[in-house]
Amino acid sequence: MTAFDRIQDRLEGVQPRGNTASARCPAHDDHKASLSISRARDFHGVVLHCHACRDVDKVLAALKLTRRDLFDNPHDQQRGYTVEAEYPYDDESGRVMYVKERRYPKDFRQYIPLADGSRQCEARLVSCRFHMGCISGMSAA
């Protein structure tokens, strides 16, 4: 998700217009769309400007964001993809065995989450197979 999308998601009354948008400013009682949001031309990020309060820091505080959130994730740009969703696969005791990532552009990858928060990436993980014997003590035929 880009910074442009992330900021628009937190605003009310957004009126998108291609690479720009306008919205009601969350930093003050705004009845008109006085906040301008634009994709930056010179870097991967967003330019914010409130035509009423003119205080970007107040706008960011009202959105519970920091100046860092005005920029796209640089790791996503370097990697060439963004992670859109993660799907954990649990064993019968509820322990996560592995996680599948859905990426943009469309791709799926798997990894094993480790106890220290890191991940073990496998070139080829053995997928979990559904066995009828796992359900209510039934034996597989």
Considering the domain architecture, whether residues 101 and 117 belong to the same structural domain is answered as yes
Report if residue 139 sits inside a domain: no
Q: Which of 24-33, 56-65, 124-133 has the lowest mean pLDDT?
A: 124-133
Considering the domain architecture, whether residues 44 and 66 belong to the same structural domain is answered as yes
* Residue 108 domain boundaries: 81-134
Token pair of 95, please? 């322990």
Considering the domain architecture, whether residues 38 and 98 belong to the same structural domain is answered as no
Report if residue 10 sits inside a domain: yes
Cα–Cα dist 32/23, whole Å = 8
Residues 72-123 have pLDDT tens digits of 775 555 567 777 788 999 888 988 888 998 887 788 888 888 888 788 886 5
Considering the domain architecture, whether residues 37 and 23 belong to the same structural domain is answered as yes
Considering the domain architecture, whether residues 130 and 101 belong to the same structural domain is answered as yes
Number of independent structural domains in the chain: 2
Residues 42-72 have pLDDT tens digits of 767 889 999 998 889 999 999 988 888 888 7
Considering the domain architecture, whether residues 7 and 21 belong to the same structural domain is answered as yes
Give pTM, 2 decimals: 0.51
DSSP string, 23-54: E--TTS--SS--EEEEE-SSSSBEEEEETTT-
Side-chain half-sphere of 67: how many Cα atoms within 13 Å? Answer: 3
